[in-house]
């Protein structure tokens, strides 16, 4: 009668009865729970290798092969996330400064030429925009500011931080690309009020590092 109600054949029922009982230990259950928590915390981006590292760090003894089987059993499927890059175009009403450097990025002394740029970094709190100011003499970061929004405030606060720290002379040249933050009237007025000369190159990064994000992390950490 029960088989008819559940719409299961008698042979399937008795086959199920003959299966050995699988006993899961409390430690295994805890590992399953932590695996799910870690996977969700990564926004479904942890692969078997990284998940295994995190589980072993918490004291679980588990091989990568077992992690792969664990992920299959718990239906932990990695979601590929495509990195995005925000690009900004200047308004036609914003002026573009001449390129005063003309590819000469090697000043003979400190606080003669600074360069500014904006990049983006993926953090545990989401995407962050990072504005930096570099003294091209010695390639040292002298000011930086991070924000979730890519605004003129972002580049202004980075520059003001560098200016207060270094107290540069009036002849300072500030070089950047033609992004809307740098070409805005407000930012150009800030540089003018601080007696800085403006220089602009083409649209895009101005520092010329192959992996700009990793370089900045190495400098700022």
pTM > 0.85: yes or no: no
Beta bridge partner(s), residue 217: none
Res 193: pLDDT? 94
Res 94: pLDDT? 58
Res 31: pLDDT? 87
Task: Give the 3-state secondary structure of residue 214.
Answer: helix
For 121-158, b/e burial (b = at least 16 CB within 10 A) is eeeeeeeebbbbbbbbbeeeebbbbbeeebbbebbbbb
Domain extent listing, the chain: 19-74, 113-220
Expressed in angstroms, the distance from the first to the final Cα of the chain is 70
Q: What is the 3-class SS of 104-141, one letter each residue? A: CCCCCCCCCEEEEEEEEEEECCEEEEEEEEEECCCCEE
Tens digit of each residue's pLDDT, the chain (221 residues):
566 656 667 676 666 666 665 566 788 888 888 888 888 887 787 888 889 999 999 899 889 999 999 898 888 888 755 444 444 555 544 578 888 887 777 888 999 999 998 887 777 777 888 899 999 888 889 999 998 888 899 999 999 999 999 999 988 999 998 888 888 999 999 999 999 999 988 655 555 443 444 444 444 43
Res 157: pLDDT? 95
Left (φ > 0), alpha (ψ -120 to 50) or beta: where does 126 sit? left
CATH of segment(s) 113-220:
3.30.420.10
Q: Which residues contact 36 (CB under 8 A, 6 or more apart)?
A: 74, 76
CA 31 to CA 220: how far, in whole Å?
Answer: 36
Res 188: pLDDT? 92
CA 55 to CA 78: how far, in whole Å?
Answer: 17
């Amino acid at each position: 009668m029960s088989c008819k109600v559940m719409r299961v054949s008698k042979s399937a029922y008795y086959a199920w009865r003959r299966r050995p009982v699988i006993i899961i230990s409390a430690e295994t259950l805890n590992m399953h729970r932590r695996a799910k928590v870690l996977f969700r915390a990564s926004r479904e981006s942890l692969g078997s290798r990284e998940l295994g590292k995190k589980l072993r760090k918490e004291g679980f003894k588990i091989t990568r092969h077992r992690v792969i089987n664990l992920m299959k059993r718990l239906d932990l499927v990695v979601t590929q996330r495509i990195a995005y890059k925000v690009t900004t175009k200047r308004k036609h009403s914003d002026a573009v400064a001449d390129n005063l450097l003309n590819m000469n990025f090697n000043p003979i002394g400190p606080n003669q030429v600074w360069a500014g740029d904006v990049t983006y970094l993926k953090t545990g709190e989401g995407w962050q925009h990072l504005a930096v100011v570099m003294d091209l003499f010695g390639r040292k970061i002298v000011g930086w500011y991070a924000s979730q929004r890519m605004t003129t405030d972002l580049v202004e606060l980075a520059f003001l931080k560098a200016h207060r720290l270094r107290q540069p002379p009036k002849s300072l040249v500030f070089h950047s690309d033609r992004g809307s933050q740098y070409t805005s009237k407000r930012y150009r007025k800030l540089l003018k009020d601080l007696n800085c000369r403006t220089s602009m190159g083409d649209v895009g990064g101005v520092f010329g590092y192959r992996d700009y994000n990793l370089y900045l992390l190495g400098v700022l950490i």
